[in-house]
């Protein structure tokens, strides 16, 4: 069994390191010193560089100008982006485009994907439901209206909604043999679409998306079976990759600081209590990494397992949520008061970590999901 990354996957990660090399985590005002959002939009200059490096089209087929790579390659790139707190909708955009390619019709793919791969069209996903604690697919209802659809409902905490051209919205359809979920691609400027500003813990501008009798053409609705479940799994796994990259950078910062900070004439990194805490966080990161690649491999390969792929995604999200929280908490503790200094970037990583911990649901939500899967698919 070969656990190494392919040459193409390694090349994607190397390209990402080159693009992100000049990104400064302190490029926008500190969320600790800002009452509103730290910036109105995402980093458009960085977005252009990602497009030029073909990193916005990683998952797209060559027919759409893409590289034809998989979820593992995307996670490698996301891991690098989180190390510098890159302010771009890379995860949401890439996952939405991949869902259009995998489940949308040929006309929709032809109309959107090449432009999305070039960064000319920005996509995001409404994935947090009405409150952030309920299923996203139940927050918006969809019903047929002639040859089109009508959407009604509310989605909270939609990332990059003010910047996106299209928001992919899961919507619940009642009736028929069984209830089902469709994906509607909603233009931000469409009649009946409203945005109410929200600000996340990391200071980024989110939006409550309000849909009041919004009419959508049939060609802008994806009805493929399992489309939302697949898209949600990719988003959750990508979030784990972001948490891993952030945690690795934070542990590196902690090692650098404790190796230089002296007490009683010795670097504090040589003290047993400090070394043990850092070692525990290293173990957390390795567990986060192992479970991430298992989940990404299940999505990329479609391979069968003792549980559906959702089980591996749940395990990865549990480790990512709890692990990244422990990493940043230990880093703050070992940095002492210096960790809270707003002239030092650690406090930003702490704020981003809290956002990633809760994004798409906390660890407890995935523990409950994993329990349901184990009950439905008993092992042995």
In order, the DSSP letters of 136-159 are GGGSEEEEEETTEEEEEEEEEEEE
Using the 3D structure, point to which of 222, 249, 281 is the last residue of a domain: 222
Using the 3D structure, point to which of 222, 243, 277 is the last residue of a domain: 222
Tokens of 44: 């458009």
As a whole number of angstroms, the distance between CA 95 and CA 77 comes to 13
Give the structural domain span for 24.
7-121
pLDDT of residue 379: 81
Positive or negative: CA dihedral 188, 193, 196, 198: negative
Supply the CATH number for residue 152's domain: 2.40.110.10
As a whole number of angstroms, the distance between CA 23 and CA 336 comes to 26
Note whether residue 34 is domain-resident: yes
State which residues of the chain have pLDDT below 50: none
Angle, vertex CA 123, rays to CA 122 and CA 129, nearest 5:
145
Tokens of 244: 């891993």
Residue 369 C-alpha from the chain's centroid: 19
Number of domains making up the chain: 3
Indicate whether 213 and 232 sit together in one domain.
no
pLDDT of residue 177: 58
β 205-217/148-159 pair status: antiparallel
Indicate whether 51 and 110 sit together in one domain.
yes
As a whole number of angstroms, the distance between CA 374 and CA 308 comes to 10
Q: Which of 214, 217, 205 is nearest to 147 (CA)?
A: 217
As a whole number of angstroms, the distance between CA 124 and CA 90 comes to 9
Note whether residue 131 is domain-resident: no
As a whole number of angstroms, the distance between CA 107 and CA 110 comes to 5
Q: Which long-range contacts (CB under 8 A, 24 or more apart) does 310-314 make?
A: 310/229, 310/233, 310/369, 310/373, 311/370, 311/373, 311/374, 311/377, 313/233, 313/236, 313/237, 313/366, 314/366, 314/367, 314/369, 314/370, 314/373
Note whether residue 1 is domain-resident: no
Indicate whether 145 and 261 sit together in one domain.
no
Supply the CATH number for residue 95's domain: 1.10.540.10
Indicate whether 89 and 12 sit together in one domain.
yes
Indicate whether 159 and 294 sit together in one domain.
no
Indicate whether 308 and 233 sit together in one domain.
yes
Residue given tokens 């919507």 in the structure block: 171
Indicate whether 272 and 368 sit together in one domain.
yes
- For residue 32, the 8-state DSSP code is T
- For residue 163, the 8-state DSSP code is T
Indicate whether 36 and 176 sit together in one domain.
no
Indicate whether 368 and 273 sit together in one domain.
yes
Using the 3D structure, point to which of 222, 252, 268 is the last residue of a domain: 222
CA distances from 170 to 39, 121, 123, 151, 183 (A): 27, 20, 14, 10, 5
Q: Which of 68, 77, 66 is nearest to 10 (CA)?
A: 77
Note whether residue 2 is domain-resident: no
Indicate whether 214 and 231 sit together in one domain.
no
Supply the CATH number for residue 351's domain: 1.20.140.10
Indicate whether 183 and 210 sit together in one domain.
yes
Please say whether the beta carbons of 285 and 247 come within 8 A.
yes
Note whether residue 317 is domain-resident: yes
> Cβ contacts of residue 225 below 8 Å, gap of 6+?
180
Angle, vertex CA 259, rays to CA 254 and CA 260, nearest 5:
105
Note whether residue 127 is domain-resident: no
Indicate whether 232 and 370 sit together in one domain.
yes
Note whether residue 130 is domain-resident: no
Q: Which long-range contacts (CB under 8 A, 24 or more apart) does 187-195 make?
A: 188/161, 188/162, 188/164, 190/214, 190/215, 190/216, 191/215, 195/161, 195/162
Note whether residue 110 is domain-resident: yes
């Amino acid at each position: 069994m070969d656990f190494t990354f392919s040459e193409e996957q390694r090349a994607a990660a190397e390209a990402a390191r080159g693009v992100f090399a000049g990104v400064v985590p302190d490029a926008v005002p500190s969320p600790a010193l800002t009452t509103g959002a730290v910036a109105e939009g995402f980093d458009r200059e960085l977005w252009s560089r990602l497009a030029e490096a073909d990193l916005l089209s990683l998952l797209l087929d060559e027919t759409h100008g893409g590289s034809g790579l998989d979820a593992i390659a995307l996670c490698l790139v996301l891991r690098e982006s989180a190390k510098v707190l890159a302010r771009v909708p890379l995860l949401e955009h890439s996952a939405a485009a991949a869902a259009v390619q995998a489940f949308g019709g040929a006309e929709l793919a032809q109309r959107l994907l090449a432009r999305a791969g070039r960064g000319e069209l920005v996509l995001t996903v409404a994935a947090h439901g009405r409150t952030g604690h309920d299923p996203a697919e139940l927050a918006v209802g969809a019903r047929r209206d002639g040859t089109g659809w009508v959407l009604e409902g509310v989605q909270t905490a939609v990332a990059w909604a003010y910047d996106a051209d299209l928001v992919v919205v899961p919507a619940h359809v009642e009736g028929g043999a069984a209830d089902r979920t469709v994906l509607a691609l909603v233009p931000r400027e469409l009649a009946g679409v409203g945005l109410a500003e929200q600000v996340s813990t990391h200071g980024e501008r989110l939006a409550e998306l309000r849909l009041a009798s919004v009419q959508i053409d049939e060609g802008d609705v994806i009805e493929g079976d399992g489309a939302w479940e697949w898209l949600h799994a990719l988003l959750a796994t990508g979030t784990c990759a972001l948490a891993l990259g952030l945690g690795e950078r934070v542990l590196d910062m902690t090692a650098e600081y404790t190796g230089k900070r002296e007490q009683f004439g010795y670097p504090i990194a040589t003290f047993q209590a400090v070394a043990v805490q850092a070692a525990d966080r290293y173990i957390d990161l390795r567990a986060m990494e192992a479970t991430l690649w298992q989940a990404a491999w299940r999505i990329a390969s479609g391979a069968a397992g003792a549980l559906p792929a959702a089980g591996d995604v749940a395990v990865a999200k549990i480790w990512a949520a709890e692990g990244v929280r422990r990493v940043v908490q230990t880093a703050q503790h070992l940095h002492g008061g210096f960790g809270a200094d707003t002239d030092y970037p650690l406090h930003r990583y702490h704020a981003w970590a809290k956002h990633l911990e809760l994004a798409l649901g906390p660890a407890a939500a995935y523990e409950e999901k994993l329990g349901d899967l184990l009950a439905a698919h008993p092992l042995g």
